[in-house]
Structure 1
Amino acid sequence: MDAEPPLNSLLAATASALPEAATSMKTSALSSIVEFLGSGSAYLGAWMRRARQGVDDTTEARSIISKALATQLAEELKADTVLVNSLTEQLAPSYVRKQKNKLRVAEEAIITLVINGEGASETTNTETVDLDWLHTFERFAEDASSENMQSLWGRVLAGEISKPGRFTKATLRFLYELDVHIAQDFEQARPHIIDGKLFPHDEAVPLDLTLRLEGAGIVTRAGGNIVTAITLSDVGHSSMSVGHMAAIFMGSSNKEFEIPILPLTKIGLELSELLPNLHTEKKLRDIAASLKGVRNLDAVGIGPVKIVNGLEQVPFQHLEIIWQNDEFNLEKFVANVQKSPAC
């Protein structure tokens, strides 16, 4: 088996690989990352200070303390070489592994902050990450050995730096203990989450899937089925937008219809923040199709959103009908809408 590279080499190599754009990050953001890295921050801190002399120099203080502790420990243990050798064999590989993992997580956090344009201005957010939260995060993140988990923990750290308090300790523990099957379930359900609500339907988000998500604490039924009520306008339509597309619900004026939903829990909401937002047509198509036969709805279509006088609108000429009742006539419906004083 190949020997692990010296810890110094690992730290230096990872630090030098970090993006140059990170030198523009604000002091509070860098300080949180240096605090997270602990004793491994010497190389990272030195590299960053080439461009940011204003960063608090915690590295020097840590170095002084470490040297003093090392000297005292050496005096106490130098007579017991067997114990020293045993401790070295047991602790050194684990320490190197954890430091390497933490550096990879820090790198992912910096890349995320730079890509998102966050953490660069001292005036945008003066809050700092809570040290107690950071120490809890460190205990979990240092065990992240896979690239996927290092990337995930990096996004968590970046999110907390950009908005302290974004992620609770409960979510940190959930992520640490996350089961691969639950992760797959959430990934399957994610395209059907809009504004913190999961829209279940038999095909894409079946009952057994929602029950597993509920058991994991990602969604809640609050003791029973939950619905959201949508009231159609005076001219008989309402809309739901996702990105640049919207679903148009059509029926009788001022009538109300219901859509079954499962609200995300606090953990579910925070988990969804870590993943890219999927503004896809498929979300709307699936929701539209699942509403066929719902009382007070005559038709549902989808189309591109157009901003008119600051308001979102979907031109009816660009509307694609997903389903409609036999008696529904789109041309007649549009004509009635256009006659309305509100149009």
Structure 2
Amino acid sequence: MSKPDDASNLPAPIVAAIAGIPAALVPASVKALDRLIGATVDIPVAWLEYQKAKIVSKTEAFKTIDGAITKTAATKAEANEQFADRALDNLVRKSYRQLDNKEAVSAAMLDDLRDNPVEPDISAEQNKESAVIDDDWLNVFERYAEDASTERMQKLWGRVLAGEVRKPGKYGMRTLRFLSEFSQADALEFSAFCQNSFGGLAPKALIKTDKDISNLLAMEASGLIQGASGMGLQVTLTPDSAGRAFLIEKPLIVMFTGMPETPVKVEIISLTPLGQELVTLLPGRVPREAARLVGMAVKTDQIKAAFLMLVGQNGSATPMEILWQEEVPATPVVHNS
């Protein structure tokens, strides 16, 4: 395991936590952590074991931050001592609250990196040679992370940062803005839809569109899905010369077999690029279960079977299970008299 740069402002507990993630992800992780918790008030020792300090009294734990912001507070107070005290107290409280939120996001990121070290759609070699996280992206992310006061949002932002560490550029600025306004009710609605989607699409056979579709229209208006209104959408599966067609959501593949080079049209509702970014952040979604549902829903006269396969790091696909297979009529037995 490689060690973080000695010049890092990170506190010892966080440096120790990095030991649980792959060495290839350490540089990007340190950069992200330094931005979030290493230099909150331009003074590295501002960490001060703040989790033990309570923002209800002037203890020794506050003195470092007090010294860093007293000058600013006094200037704003214009020599008004009472105003200066209130301003200083508010700034100290705000600084600790923001730091507490960012530490929780950082911890969630490290947990995710430890449990899921490699992005499923990139190889280990690509992961090792990943690009550097963009500074502008980190600037925007930090503002959202410091306002994440609930456990749900802290874990959500932690998964976002972990994904960006593994694969810089994975989440766009628009996704960050959307997530900052993504309510729990909206997240549950979208999560329920995505249980029936795989490879960026959901067969309409799995989605209830015969009654109230207000929830679908709301997701469409938000830019998460398309095809819920109007003429709808279709996807065309065209089996190759060997009779195989594929739906892919790495590392899983649903392979359909049927009549070679005979197009098959399926009515669908599809995820937009924004929706496809967000689906990777849903904690309750199990891609394998979604693959099963979608594979079972695509049944036509031209499709004869569906199989679930797993893509390895070397690009090879390994069969996992038969989702369904058309029964071959038994050949009648002829008895000679």
**Please, what TM-score do these two structures have when normalized by structure 1?**
0.67
Q: Could you tell me which amino acid in structure 2 is paired with residue 82 of structure 1? A: Q
Residue equivalent to 2:270: 263
| The one of 139, 146, 150 aligned to 2:143 | 139
Does residue 180 in structure 1 map to residue 181 in structure 2?
A: no
Q: CA RMSD in A?
A: 4.4
Change (3 A) 1:77 1:167: same
Q: Could you tell me which amino acid in structure 1 is paired with residue 160 of structure 2? A: V
| The one of 228, 231, 234 aligned to 2:238 | 231
Contact residue 22 and residue 117 of structure 2 kept, 8 A? no
Residue equivalent to 2:133: 129
Residue equivalent to 1:220: 226
Residue 128 of structure 1 deviates from its aligned partner by 2.4
Contact residue 191 and residue 283 of structure 1 kept, 8 A? no
Residue equivalent to 2:83: 83
Residue 121 of structure 1 deviates from its aligned partner by 9.9
Residue 237 of structure 1 deviates from its aligned partner by 6.1
Q: For 1:34-53, list aligned pairs within 5 A.
A: 34-37=34-37, 38-39=39-40, 42=44
Change (3 A) 1:34 1:66: farther
Q: Which moved more, 1:123-132 or 1:140-149?
A: 123-132
Contact residue 285 and residue 302 of structure 1 kept, 8 A? no
Change (3 A) 1:84 1:66: closer
Q: What SS class does the counterpart of residue 86 from structure 2 fall into?
A: helix
C-alpha distance in 2 between matches for 1:122 and 1:283: 26
Q: For 1:1-343, list aligned pairs within 5 A.
A: 15=14, 18=17, 20-21=19-20, 24=23, 26-37=26-37, 38-39=39-40, 42=44, 70-71=70-71, 74=74, 77=77, 79-117=79-117, 124-125=128-129, 127-195=131-199, 197-204=200-207, 206=209, 208=213, 209-221=215-227, 224-232=231-239, 238=245, 240=247, 246=254, 248-250=256-258, 252-275=259-282, 278-281=286-289, 283-289=291-297, 291=298, 294=300, 297=301, 300-303=304-307, 305=309, 319=322, 321=324, 329-330=328-329
Q: What SS class does the counterpart of residue 259 from structure 1 fall into?
A: strand
Return 5+ residue gaps in structure 1 as ranges.
1-10, 48-63, 333-343
Identity among equivalent pairs (%) = 24
Return 5+ residue gaps in structure 2 as ranges.
1-9, 50-63, 332-337
C-alpha distance in 2 between matches for 1:229 and 1:153: 36
C-alpha distance in 1 between matches for 2:67 and 2:302: 76
Change (3 A) 1:155 1:259: same
Q: Which moved more, 1:72-81 or 1:151-160?
A: 72-81
Q: Which runs of 4+ in 1 moved over 6 A?
A: 11-14, 44-47, 119-123, 241-245
Residue 17 of structure 1 deviates from its aligned partner by 8.1
Contact residue 125 and residue 162 of structure 1 kept, 8 A? no
Count of paired positions:
292
